[in-house]
Chain A
Amino acid sequence: MSRSDAERYLAIADGCGNKPMPTNLQGRTQYLSLALFSQSVVSALLDFVDQNRSALLESSLREALRSLEDISNGNLHRFAQRRAAGFSSYEHLQTLDQVWTDPEREEAIRMISELLAHPVDAPAKKDDANRLIDLFVRLENQALWNFEQPKTASPRGIRELCTMA
């Protein structure tokens, strides 16, 4: 069993519908992975805005875009594979929900798409990039917070479903 699984397996739940979370760091690394993913996007955007370098911009943004699009309309197969880059787990989706509203997610998709289509050194593009930096730094901070203070529950949907059945 993996360490986090084993801890859940052995632990006693807190009685409030929250799963007991692993107390060790390794069991929470999914959140850290999301923080570092956000950091890689921020780093590429900072290079673009502050240093006029766009070498890493395309690969970084393309991954972020694909990942965001997959959440709303992508193939479920991606989530059934054990790992993938970007937003690939329930914990990732939950963190994203905590920090971005639906309109912000759509706005992020729009801004990334436009930056990818024309990554030119124009003030409007840099405004978009700065806005994306804000969004991804918020996501990074939330992921770091969840890494520190994890608390996940099964989604309401599954609880309702299992009660109904």
Chain B
Amino acid sequence: MHDGIEALFHDAASLHRLVDFIHQYCNEQKTSQTYVDATDDFFGYIDRLATGTKAFLRTTTESALPPRVNVIRTSLLSVKNYWRVLHTFIKPAADAHTLKIPSPLLNLAAEQVRQVPGMQGANVVVLLTPELMYFQMPHSDIKDAAINLSATIPEARFPRNLGFVELPYSQGPSFFNNLVIYHEIGHFVYEELSNSDPPVAALDGLASEMIRCLQKNVKPDFKTLDRNTQVYAITVLQNWVQEVFCDLFAIRLIGPAFTFASVELFGLLGLMGNTTQQVKFSDSHPAQACRFSEHLRQLQADGWWDLVKDIQAEQPQLVSTIANLPSTDYQLDLDSGLRADCGLIPAFLDLLPAVRDSVRGLTDGARAKADDFRCFTDHIEKCLAHGIVPSAPKDPDNVTVPDPIAVINAAFCFYLSALPKLMGNLEKQDRKNLEHRSKWTRRLEMWTMKAIEDFQVWTKCQAAANERSI
């Protein structure tokens, strides 16, 4: 006869085995590789959760009453599925040891994020993905799941302020394309601050404004729609808001290099499209034209655009052309079919000033400064043109290392416009030879990364010297 209790023990043992394997795997990785602190924290979480899950399995099976077997088996399935999700994070995190990721860039980004109000102590776990795409793992969902699971397994609660960003494994050592992680980090900040208790004023205000804009623009009356439709409309608007928030967040932190990196990435993925595609809003993303229009507006407001718009490269012109497509051309592409817009796009356009304000409010202490770029760009370009790491001080009598954001932007502009100049300074290097070109791009990225690392060391030395003098 089928024995329910026996089946329960079978399920529990199967889950126990899975947890035990993952637990051991993480411990092995930790002892054989070096990881950034965030990854160590994540593995520490897995360690605690594995112990908690095993204890939960023991007590649940020991106290199970036969009439409740099916209920308990369902609950084991829920726990198992939580582990299934974690399972997908663990191997990519284990692969991202310090030799495989652009650590100086990630350290810089993490340091900037920690200057955002409410994000003190934030850290980012890097995952290496087999896909040629950058992602931010939707950690809010898994954190919600973790909070719900913690009612039965207290160790399930996630470490605070831990975010996850995925990098394509092939791009791990590269630099310029990886600048798009700032957008992904924007998602992390948005999700984290949206959930903060007490709520962060900049984002809480945005939520109220969202409702106001929907009520004002959706026709017929938004208030009379059924609850599911209202929530769906809110979700679509939230998706659009978050994408623009993340773009503006990234621009505020690293300036035009982010816009250029986005163009590179979208081009690589064939997402730049034609004008028809560029004006389409899907349920998850605003139109490219709208996004680049926001890029351009922010770069102008922060004083960057005038400094980069005339560089001898295709990118600034491309950005300007897409950004200037009229907003009256924007179209709603819902459920894979063009739809008459019931007011969602106007509601979003109405909401944009509030999105800009919220980003500005959050990034004041962390933002990139166009003045530093203006001050250092000629020096950095000169260094790069001669194969010198651009952390070399501008003035030997006044040892000030160029600001990393200035280095990143100047190096990106150099990459787009002046790589042939560098190659022309070297013997037997042909700018039309793809191998040569890619070799010097790699070098350029290495020098840029080294300059950032030098700045980080220099800053630490300065801080230590200041402390000693006190």
Contact = CB atoms under 8 A, between A and B. Distances in A.
A120 interface: no
B341 A32 contact: no
Contact of A83 (B84, B144, B226): B144
A62 B145 CA distance: 18
Contacts, number: 219
B136 A3 contact: yes
Nearest to A20: B336
B147 interface: yes
Contacts of B282: 8-9
B7 interface: no
Contacts of B134: 1
Interface residues of B, number: 81
Contacts of B147: 85
A125 interface: no
Interface stretch (B14-22, B45-53, B229-237): B229-237
Nearest to A41: B151
Contacts of A15: 336
Contacts of B203: 81-82
Contacts of A39: 74-75, 78-79, 148-149, 151-152
A65 interface: no
A1 B136 contact: yes
Interface in B316-335: 332, 334-335
Contact of B335 (A25, A30, A97, A159): A159
B138 interface: yes
B243 A90 contact: no
A119 interface: no
B274 interface: no
A137 B74 contact: yes
Instruction: Indicate the member of B70, B78, B228, B243 with the most A CB atoms within 10 Å.
Output: B78
B342 interface: yes
B207 A46 contact: no
B399 interface: no
A161 interface: yes
Contacts of B79: 39
Task: Decide if the interface of chain A is mainly helix, strand, loop or mixed.
Answer: helix
Given A26-B137, A37-B148, A89-B235, A162 B85 contact: no
Contacts of B195: 82-83
A77 B205 CA distance: 10
A84 to B, nearest CB: 8
Contact of A162 (B138, B141, B334): B334
Interface residues of A, number: 71
A161 B219 CA distance: 8
Interface in B221-277: 225-235, 238-239, 242-243, 269, 271
Contacts of B335: 13, 17-19, 153-154, 159
Given A32-B85, A33-B144, A162-B342, A82 B151 contact: no
A43 interface: yes
B97 interface: no
Nearest to B142: A29
A76 B342 contact: no
A156 B344 CA distance: 16
A25 B88 CA distance: 8
A29 B239 contact: no
B84 to A, nearest CB: 6
A165 B228 contact: no
Contact of A90 (B82, B144, B231): B231
Interface string A119-138: 00000000000000100010
B208 A80 contact: yes
Interface stretch (B106-114, B186-194, B304-312, B406-414): B186-194
A164 interface: yes
A36 B166 contact: no
B229 A32 contact: no
Contact of A44 (B151, B191, B199, B211): B151
B228 A90 contact: yes
Nearest to A4: B138
Contacts of A4: 138, 284
A26 B138 contact: yes
A19 B332 CA distance: 15
Interface of A: 1-6, 8-10, 12-15, 17-19, 24-27, 29-30, 32-33, 35-37, 39-40, 42-44, 46, 50-51, 56, 60, 71-72, 76-77, 79-83, 85, 88-90, 93-94, 97, 133, 137, 140-141, 144, 147, 153-159, 161-165
Given A89-B231, A97-B228, 15 more contacts: A1-B134, A19-B283, A26-B89, A26-B138, A43-B151, A43-B152, A46-B71, A83-B195, A89-B235, A93-B227, A140-B74, A144-B81, A154-B283, A163-B339, A165-B340
Interface of B: 63, 65, 68, 70-71, 74-75, 77-79, 81-82, 84-85, 88-89, 133-138, 140-142, 144-145, 147-149, 151-152, 166, 183-184, 187, 190-191, 194-195, 199, 203-204, 207-208, 210-211, 218-220, 225-235, 238-239, 242-243, 269, 271, 282-285, 332, 334-337, 339-343
24 contacts: A3-B166, A8-B284, A26-B85, A26-B138, A32-B81, A33-B145, A33-B148, A36-B145, A39-B149, A40-B148, A43-B152, A77-B207, A85-B148, A90-B231, A133-B71, A137-B71, A137-B74, A140-B74, A140-B75, A144-B77, A154-B335, A158-B233, A161-B220, A165-B340
Instruction: Return the 9 tightest CB-CB contacts between A and B, nearest first.
Output: A13-B336, A157-B229, A82-B194, A40-B151, A36-B148, A29-B141, A162-B339, A80-B207, A33-B145
